[in-house]
Amino acid sequence: MVKHAVEANFDGLVGPTHNYAGLSWGNVASKSNESAVSNPKEAALQGLAKMKALADRGFVQGILPPHERPHIPTLRGLGFEGSDQKILEDAAKQCPTILAAVSSASTMWTANAATVSPSADTKDRRVHFTPANLSAKFHRSIEHVVTGRALKSIFADDAYFAHHPALPSVSHFGDEGAANHTRLCGGYGEPGVELFVYGQVAFNEQAPAPKKFPARQTLEASQAIARLHGLSDAHAVFAQQNPEAIDAGVFHNDVIAVGNGNTLFYHDMAFLDEQKVLDDIRARLKGTELQAVKVSSAEVPIQDAVASYLFNSQLLNTPDGMMLAVPGECREVKSVSNYLDQLVQSGGPITAVEVFDVKQSMRNGGGPACLRLRVVLNDDELKAMHQGVLLTDALYERLTTWVNAHYRDQLTREDLADPMLLDEVRKALDELTGILGLGSIYDFQL
């Protein structure tokens, strides 16, 4: 029986250590803004403003909390000893790059937090979660433990939700979460098709692969998650990302394609075998016609797509058609801006474009789609989840007050060694778990 369902967006709240350390090789924006001065307060408020705007439009909007950073347990595990202050001092002197890595606020990009399969697709009819191991980058590989705790706290009822540990943290099973996964369907509560996009086949050295930048998602990881989630062949399609796109700076599939409902919005360089991908989706999308909206390289060159993050946008249902929520940079790149004007006049499924200012996130390589994890929930599941993380007017006001009280206006790489910053972060996060009602999820709380 098909149940009514909604697609809830769970955005990552930007953490107090938001900074530009240029840690992500293959992410052009991240590297190009290395060592710039960041504004954590502005970044968090920009993210909250986007959440509030969508909640005001009637979308179910949730929040995932930032992580404890700098992460002292990781530094201890790497051999640094003594008090927290001494550990920070020694790390700053001996390994400043490692200190920057364990201070990253990259958990804001919750598209990488996990892969989620709705109950309409899974064998046991529960919503399944697998935190991403993010093994391609050290600074992100330390996230999955606390991400798992947060997800289990929010989606705690075993009758409705199933949680899996992250895949083995090795390159063969590199997993970047929902940034390489999208779901196509008729209605959210109907059985759908989950599109897993991978960059390389780990156990086949002869298979196509990028030459310049690393492929972060493997076919083997995607297949493992599909098995863990109880997805049959009727609910899963595996597609290889175009290696040339990865080498052009498309480090995740959500930088070159986004899907919603029966619509796939993508660039002509997105997939290695575009026609097979479309055929495989159509063969499984029973009773629903796939709306394939392709953007050609002639309309938007791949470099412009990467610079503007056109496809790293949220594609959302509205009463009048689908709305594309884009970063402000899309109006700063001429080819993209012109294309968007033509798109809404084309008579296709995307009928509106709305611009959001997420510049602080964009400078580090993440647009609106990076900032959210999509979780399809039927009415019973929505009721069963923890309600304290769903954005309301009252929670928005409380969180903006919390950000203004605890976040700095400026942060440089040198500030990461300041022991006062660690104290500020822990005090803020301890208060946040109380505000959101999450219990003790951080190492310093356990």
Q: Token match 């005090």: residue? A: 427
Q: Does residue 272 contact residue 241 with C-beta atoms inside 8 Å?
A: yes
Q: Catalogue the E-assigned strands of 75-150.
A: 114-117, 127-131
Q: Does residue 269 contact residue 248 with C-beta atoms inside 8 Å?
A: yes
Structure tokens at 148: 């798992």
200-206: which pairs have CB atoms within 8 A and are 24 or more residues apart?
200/240, 200/243, 201/240, 202/171, 202/172, 202/173, 202/174, 203/172
From the candidates 128, 144, 235, 252, which is the catalytic residue?
Answer: 252
Angle of helix 393-406 versus helix 419-436 axis, rounded to 10: 170
Q: How far apart are CA 74 and CA 81, in angstroms?
A: 11
DSSP-based three-state secondary structure for 244: helix
Q: How many CB atoms sit inside 10 A of residue 32's CB?
A: 13
**Residue 176 annotated to the active site:** yes
Amino acid letter, 336: V
DSSP-based three-state secondary structure for 268: coil
**Residue 185 annotated to the active site:** no
Q: How far apart are CA 177 and CA 217, in angstroms?
A: 9
Q: What is the DSSP string of 392-421?
A: -HHHHHHHHHHHHHH--S-B-GGGGG-HHH
Q: How far apart are CA 102 and CA 77, in angstroms?
A: 12
From the candidates 42, 370, 381, 406, which is the catalytic residue?
Answer: 370
Sheet strands side by side (includes 257-260): 257-260, 263-267, 291-295
From the candidates 176, 194, 220, 381, which is the catalytic residue?
Answer: 176
Just list the catalytic residues. Answer: 176, 252, 370
